[in-house]
Chain A
Amino acid sequence: MNKERRDFIRKTGLGVLAGICASSGLIQAFALEETVLPAWDEKPVPGKIRWGMLIDTRKCRQDCKECVAMCHHVHNVPDFGNRKDEVKWIWKSSYEHVFPTSTQQFRTKEVLERPYLALCNHCAESPCTRACPTEATFKRWDGIVSMDYHRCIGCRFCMAACPYGSRSFNWRDPREGIKEASVDYPTRMTGVVEKCNFCSDRLVKGLMPACVESCPEKALTFGDLNDPRSDIRALLESNNTMQRKPELGTKPSVFYII
């Protein structure tokens, strides 16, 4: 039999099947709906959006800590003043700590001495969500690696799995370490792991993440990596960027312009 004709007959059969499924409601219509950020009225479509961030390290000032302060205030992140009990969602670090495996030689002194922002990378292939035995940390429909603090049992497997040190454990009651509490977001409790949530609490209100909004130099860009017309994609195309430890294959959603 002619191969093309055989294919045609096969495809016709498939078409009939699809038609039956569609008219009987087996294939749901949600795959065609539009997801609007500020008012998620319907159940969101998984995989349609992938939130990402681009950090322009050329603009980041040495003495400025606005993003850290605002993030930690908005999300009630405690500060106990010692490294042992430290809880952090976003922090500043040095080049060799943020890009320890970068093999680029002969960086200029200025590049090596710049501050680099570090936060959860919201990896597309997140190792922490695979390590979590209770699915307390999970990959959201919009690419955010989220924490369900209700479910966390404090085993800290995710902390061991995260190659970026983005997760902190609450050794003490966090409420003791909060000076000015924010009423917009709950605190955590002792024995729970926490980390940056890409401001999923602010995204539902139609707001930009706290760090992006607070940056006086506008060094942070936030947007949908799956949308080819977004600002972040335009910047990614026009600049040479870096991810943290790309060789691990975690596919981070946070990019850096060096």
Chain B
Amino acid sequence: MRIKKMLLLIAVPVLMLFAVVAFFRQPGHAETAKAPPAPVAVDSTKCIAPAEYMRANHMQVLYAWRNSSVREGNRVYIAKNGSRFQKSLNTCLGCHSTNRLFCFNCHMYANVKPKCWNCHLSPMETP
């Protein structure tokens, strides 16, 4: 009997303590969770990362975008400066396809043959 009472005496204050902690932690969480879902603004005035970085790493970025948007439904990319982009090839090609040779110039020079254009529209084909 005494052990049970002791247990209760310990458990109840600990529980209350966590309740209080949880209560005070809640507002911050609630604010981020309850914020109205802003429509995804496509910022077409800037690039998602500096050109040097993209030149070296665009394949990894596209690979990560493809996996997280197709498979996990995580369609919004938040850049380092806080601006938001749709994870889509069209986010890049929306601006860059003004240069019809945008992808091809480098790929032809480097003799790289990615399979993107088997299905997706390349800058040469975009209207």
Contact = CB atoms under 8 A, between A and B. Distances in A.
Interface of A: 1, 5, 9, 12-13, 15-16, 19-20, 22-23, 29, 32-34, 36, 38-41, 43-44, 138, 140-142, 146, 148-150, 183, 186-189, 204
A16 B15 contact: yes
Contacts of B33: 29, 32-34
A189 B118 contact: yes
A12 B6 CA distance: 13
B119 A39 contact: no
Contact of B37 (A9, A39, A141, A146): A39
B127 interface: yes
B82 interface: no
Nearest to A8: B8
A188 B18 contact: no
A156 B124 CA distance: 32
B108 interface: no
B38 interface: yes
> By CB atoms of chain B within 10 A, which of A15, A36, A41 has the most?
A41
> By CB atoms of chain A within 10 A, which of B12, B18, B66, B126 has the most?
B18
Contacts of B119: 149, 186-189
Given A16-B11, A41-B37, A183-B121, A150 B70 contact: yes
A146 B38 CA distance: 26
Interface string B66-97: 10001111111000000000000000000000
B57 to A, nearest CB: 19
Contact of A183 (B21, B74, B126): B126
Contacts of A34: 33
Q: Is the interface of A mostly helix, strand, loop or mixed?
A: loop
12 contacts: A15-B11, A16-B14, A16-B18, A22-B18, A23-B21, A23-B22, A29-B29, A29-B33, A36-B37, A40-B37, A43-B72, A183-B121
B22 A9 contact: no
A138 B71 contact: yes
A104 B15 CA distance: 59
A187 B38 CA distance: 30
A42 B29 CA distance: 14
A21 to B, nearest CB: 10
B4 A5 contact: yes
B7 interface: yes
A40 B119 CA distance: 25
A202 B36 CA distance: 21
Nearest to A18: B18
